[in-house]
Amino acid sequence: MARKSLSFPGIFPALLSYSFLLFLFAFPTIGRHDYQDALRKSILFFEGQRSGRLPLDQRIKWHRDSALHDGSTSGVDLTGGYYDAGDNVKFGFPMAFTTTLLAWSIIDFCRNMGPELKNAAKAVKWSTDYLLKATAKPGVVYVQVGDAYSDHSCWERPEDMDTLRTVYKIDNAHPGSDVAGETAAALAAASIVFRSRDPAYSRLLLNRAVRVFNFADKHRGAYSSSLHSAVCPFYCDVNGYEDELLWGAVWLHKASRKRVYREYIVKNEIVLRAGDTINEFGWDNKHAGINILISKVLQNLKN
């Protein structure tokens, strides 16, 4: 079973490969390699990570329905979403970040994706359907299903797992601006992907993103503090929750085109450490991505 590394835990390495392949797709004459097939396999990876009741068009046939009662111990439906790495835990923080980047790749590279575009959109929706369930109750975000310690001590298929499916959440008294801010970013980014494909679903995603972001901003704090024993050392937010609030705001600005989110970034520039040094970009540090998106906003305003 895959273990978490300090640099690129979970499904993030596959996402890096996927993003790099999309870059290469923009320059199809590079080399003689079949990047279309590589892109297909990269997206196929996410189908292998699916949890819940699988659709009829599932391409990985050896993978079956699993975790069909997730959330039942807390009276909610948390089926679906993605497992993390080779584990059977569903970690909301990296899952939401992965969703944001998958959506961003479609937004920027959809013309280069060919027949894989529809599969990439399905990969995004498989996650956002789950994130909508996780944020259905106002003032609450369900951020993890499964006990990482018991899961890591037992190597088994998700179809056969008998480890704990403990549910973890953040709420007003136990904040998690990091995971909530990232979830808002994912929902907002995905709303752009489905704006023309499914307008009603796009509006649902954007409205939910607004609500989740407001919750994240009003009740500030790190989920690593609220749920330390459950999420650390696996997905501790070492860099703080401030960048996720900025990240969520900039995606809401891009999705809604509302000035209020640009004003939010300017107003909170100091307190949310917008000028922090950029030394990485990943599920725990969004500053490089924030700067790219803001630079595009400024470029559009200039034009």
282-297: pLDDT as tens digits: 898 898 899 889 888 7
pTM surpassing 0.95? no
Averaged pLDDT score across all residues of the chain? 88
Residues near 252 by beta carbon (within 8 Å), at least 6 away in sequence: 184, 185, 188, 209, 210, 213, 258, 261
**DSSP 8-state symbol, 62:** T
The SS3 assignment for 50 reads strand
Residues near 218 by beta carbon (within 8 Å), at least 6 away in sequence: none
Residues near 31 by beta carbon (within 8 Å), at least 6 away in sequence: none
* Listed residue (135, 227, 229) closest to 173, CA to CA: 227
pLDDT for the residue numbered 5? 34
Interatomic CA distance for residues 112 and 121, integer angstroms: 14
Lowest-confidence segment of 2-6, 70-74, 104-108, 252-256 by average pLDDT: 2-6
Helix H or strand E encompassing 66: none
